[in-house]
Amino acid sequence: MKNILIRYKIWILFLTLGLLFFLLSFLNPNKQIETITPSDHSIDTVEGDLNQKEEMKTENILIDIKGAVQSPGLYELPSESRVLDAITVAGGLTETADERVINLAQKIQDEMVIYIPEKGEVEFQYGVSQTEEKRELFINLNTATKEELETLPGIGPAKAEAIITYRDETLFSSIEEIENVPGIGTKTFESLKDYITVN
């Protein structure tokens, strides 16, 4: 009889422990880590901002480079380019280019005219010129003083004197007529045609 009671007590003990373990497990479940994922909307917004910034970085401008470079002309460059970049796309400087008066680090702007002087030229005050819209005055070949003529690219004291001598005999009727002045040829005319007038 005692053995039967002992067995019942053991079974009751096991059942009680099992029930207690089950209740503890059920009432205190393991906490799960919540994973937060970005919404599709936020991803699209970030991608849109990146694409917009990329477009801003790749915006191009048009410049006109003249003078002592291998291939003068119009070139399209990124908006953050410098004078050095413009010279590079134009094939580099010629052997006669005067690097002393060039600011290679200067940022370029849309519609900018860049003139690279040759050695021996009077330092051109617009070394890298302003845009045509910002240039306030043209040099009038029929009225300019010797000093004003010398501010033109490719025109030194001797050529300025030659221009004055020529116009004393006959006034210029067109800017192309300056090629008739001794010492001034097509190459010089191309470098200064955007800065002269006869009106």
Q: Tell me: the pLDDT tens digits for 168-199?
A: 999 999 999 999 999 998 888 988 888 898 87
pLDDT band at 17 (very low <50, low <70, confident <90, very high): confident
Q: Is the pTM of this model over 0.75?
A: no
**Cβ atoms < 10 Å from Cβ of 175:** 18
Query: What integer is the mean pLDDT of 124-146?
Result: 61
Q: Locate tokens 């192309």: which residue?
A: 176
pLDDT mean over 29-34: 48
DSSP β-bridge partners for residue 62? 76
Residues 106, 83: contact at Cβ < 8 Å? yes
The first and second tokens of residue 48, run together, are 């849109």
Architecture of domain 137-199: Orthogonal Bundle (1.10)
Tell me the pLDDT of the chain averaged across its residues: 77
Query: CA 196 → CA 128, 155, 190, 193, distances in Å?
Result: 17, 12, 11, 6
Q: Where in the chain is the domain with CATH 3.10.20?
A: 55-135
Amino acid identity of residue 163, one-letter, is I
What is the phi/psi pair of residue 7, to 5°?
Answer: -60, -45
Q: Which amino acid is residue 146, in one-letter code?
A: K
Question: What type of residue sits at position 80?
Answer: E
Which has the minimum average pLDDT: 43-52, 98-107, 116-125? 43-52
Reported as half-sphere exposure (CB side, CA atoms, 13 A), residue 19 has a value of: 6
Question: 1 versus 108: which is more confidently predicted?
Answer: 108
For residue 159, give Cα distances in angstroms to 24, 83, 105.
105, 28, 31
Range(s) of the chain covered by CATH 1.10.150.320: 137-199
Number of C-beta neighbours around residue 72 at 10 A: 20
Give the Cα separation of 125 and 121 in Å (integer). Answer: 11
Fold of 55-135: Ubiquitin-like (UB roll) (3.10.20)
